[in-house]
Amino acid sequence: MTASLRLGIAGLGTVGIGVVKIVRQQATLLSARTGTQITISAVSARTKGKDRGVSLAGYDWEDDPVKLATRDDLDVYVELMGGTDGPAKASVEAALKAGKDVVTANKAMLAVHGQALAELAEEHGRVIRYEAAVAGGIPVIKALTEGLAGNEITRVMGVMNGTCNYILTRMEKAGLTYEEAFAEADGLGYVEADPTLDVGGIDAGHKLAILSAIAFGTKPDFDGIELEGITRVSIEDIRAAADMEYRIKLLGVAQRTGRGLEQRMQPCLVPANSPLGQLEGGTNMVVIEGHAVEQIVLRGPGAGEGPTASAVMGDVCDIARGFRLPVFGQPATTLEAAKSARSELPAPYYLRMTLLDKPGALAKIAAILGNSGISIDRMRQYGHDDTNAPVLIVTHKTSRAALDEALAAMGQTDVVMAPPVALRIEHV
């Protein structure tokens, strides 16, 4: 007799409906691969009558996700509603306490409550699987927890938000406005229910916090991330960066420094011809460096119905096969508290500023940079009007402290018309 694995799915939006479709359409393949009949017992969402483009006939309906999570006819609770707290967290806790394994795509909940949930799961002998939570269809959680388990991880970095990458590339390549590019990303199912999570860098920060925990054996530390989104990235910067053969990406980096764990998610320039620079649309890329493996690069669709449902189903199949491992790759009680450290490694920077077009203006800026020990690598001055001269500078490597000192000094002059834009340049 074939074994069975009964799912309860809360959340029937982009991801949830993608999962229902795979369970319905790939039943034979799933059964052949896992030796288990994977079925859906019951579902839940906010609005019962909504046309979701797929038949839900045969599944019980529960208005309350907590009630769904604790049903007797369920083996795995699949949480696909989203939200850091609220029904997502309440229902996951209820499921674990009721002896159910959990699969979720909810990075916000895991980045903030991951430690407590992992401890709860272990206390009840259950697993929480969340491949879809980071980088959509890319199996990066599996890569870190399984394939790279023998490595001391030295650095994790990458582009992990499809919405931001989509917006930035469509603005540059298709000349769309921010609003037009955002609307396209939304239509593709990339955007979070609260879009500020995407464009504010918070969603990508949640993902970085999860990867850091696995990579460095630390409790997820979302608050320790130096975080900035793409809302201040202007079309002028996108074009100017392209003109200097760079692209702007919302880039995350996590690494141990001598002082602690450095985690940052911020818009950076990367060389246009590099793998990160070539990354377009909703595609994500995660670069992992380990002492033995050296460097691996994972690339794939980071958002949307199919890729995300693919990741959820990978987790479901693992549970069906009886594969179990601790939430962050080692017992939750052995994870250390992260000690956050700001980046002190020098890097080159891109500066864009508007100078008053008068004799000596540029000399003042060059002197300020020189006084802070910052050397200019490249510089361009663009077509200026009667009074203003737009200037781009790429520096040699410098510390952020030296740059901040120079930026403060520039603000004291009578030639810099507005606070300059300063973006870090990363080479992978």
What are the residue numbers of the active site?
207
Residue by residue, DSSP assigns 25-77 as: HTHHHHHHHHSEEEEEEEEE-S-TT---SS--TTSEE-S-HHHHHT-TT-SEE
Tell me the β-bridge partners of 345.
none
Half-sphere exposure of 38 (CA within 13 A, CB side): 32
47 binds, among ligand NAP, ligand HSE, none (CB under 5 to 8 A by kind): ligand NAP
- Asked if 161 interacts with ligand NAP (CB under 6 A), we say no
Per-residue tokens: 74:
């369920």
- Asked if 105 interacts with ligand NAP (CB under 6 A), we say yes
C-beta of 160 vs 215, nearer to ligand HSE? 160
Out of 8, 136, 300, 348, point to the residue binding ligand NAP (CB under 6 A): 136
Beta carbons within 10 angstroms of residue 49's beta carbon: 4
CA 427/CA 268 separation, integer angstroms: 10
C-beta of 129 vs 352, nearer to ligand NAP? 129
How are strands ordered across the β-sheet holding 76-79? Answer: 60-61, 36-44, 3-10, 76-79, 101-104, 128-129
- Asked if 14 interacts with ligand NAP (CB under 6 A), we say yes
Site string for ligand NAP, 188-227 (x = CB under 6 A): -xx-xx----------------------------------
Q: Which helix (H) or strand (E) holds 153?
A: strand 153-159
- Asked if 2 interacts with ligand NAP (CB under 6 A), we say no
Beta carbons within 10 angstroms of residue 275's beta carbon: 13
CA 141/CA 207 separation, integer angstroms: 10
Out of 33, 46, 358, 396, point to the residue binding ligand NAP (CB under 6 A): 46
C-beta of 87 vs 162, nearer to ligand HSE? 162
Site for ligand NAP in 307-326 (CB under 6 A): 308
Tell me the β-bridge partners of 39.
6
Tell me whether strands 246-257 and 153-159 are parallel, antiparallel or unpaired.
antiparallel
198 binds, among ligand HSE, ligand NAP, none (CB under 5 to 8 A by kind): ligand HSE
Instruction: Provide the minimum distance between the beta carbon of 113 and ligand HSE in the complex, in angstroms, as a whole number.
Output: 17
Instruction: Provide the minimum distance between the beta carbon of 399 and ligand NAP in the complex, in angstroms, as a whole number.
Output: 36
Instruction: Provide the minimum distance between the beta carbon of 288 and ligand NAP in the complex, in angstroms, as a whole number.
Output: 19
Per-residue tokens: 411:
């603000």
CA 1/CA 263 separation, integer angstroms: 49
C-beta of 309 vs 407, nearer to ligand HSE? 309
Residue by residue, DSSP assigns 220-259 as: --GGGSEE--STT--HHHHHHHHHTTEEEEEEEEEEEETT
Site for ligand NAP in 51-70 (CB under 6 A): 65
- Asked if 291 interacts with ligand NAP (CB under 6 A), we say no
CA 155/CA 382 separation, integer angstroms: 37
The one-letter amino acid code at 343 reads S
C-beta of 115 vs 161, nearer to ligand NAP? 161
CA 116/CA 108 separation, integer angstroms: 14
Please report, as ranges, the residues that interact with ligand HSE according to CB under 6 A: 136, 161-163, 190-192, 198, 203, 302-303
Instruction: Provide the minimum distance between the beta carbon of 131 and ligand HSE in the complex, in angstroms, as a whole number.
Output: 11
C-beta of 43 vs 133, nearer to ligand HSE? 133
Instruction: Provide the minimum distance between the beta carbon of 203 and ligand HSE in the complex, in angstroms, as a whole number.
Output: 5
- Asked if 22 interacts with ligand NAP (CB under 6 A), we say no
Instruction: Provide the minimum distance between the beta carbon of 304 and ligand NAP in the complex, in angstroms, as a whole number.
Output: 5
403 binds, among ligand HSE, ligand NAP, none (CB under 5 to 8 A by kind): none
- Phi-psi label, residue 341: left if phi above 0, alpha if psi -120 to 50, beta otherwise: beta
Where are any strands of DSSP class E within 180-337?
226-227, 246-257, 260-271, 283-290, 294-301
82 binds, among ligand HSE, ligand NAP, none (CB under 5 to 8 A by kind): ligand NAP
Instruction: Provide the minimum distance between the beta carbon of 190 and ligand HSE in the complex, in angstroms, as a whole number.
Output: 4
Instruction: Provide the minimum distance between the beta carbon of 12 and ligand HSE in the complex, in angstroms, as a whole number.
Output: 17
C-beta of 66 vs 293, nearer to ligand NAP? 66
C-beta of 77 vs 190, nearer to ligand HSE? 190
CA 228/CA 266 separation, integer angstroms: 5
User: What single-letter DSSP state applies at residue 123?
Assistant: H
380 binds, among ligand NAP, ligand HSE, none (CB under 5 to 8 A by kind): none
Q: Is the dihedral of CA 239, 245, 251, 254 positive or negative?
A: negative
- Asked if 303 interacts with ligand NAP (CB under 6 A), we say yes
Interface contacts to ligand NAP, rule CB under 6 A:
10-16, 44-47, 50, 65, 80-82, 87, 105-107, 132-133, 136, 189-190, 192-193, 303-304, 308
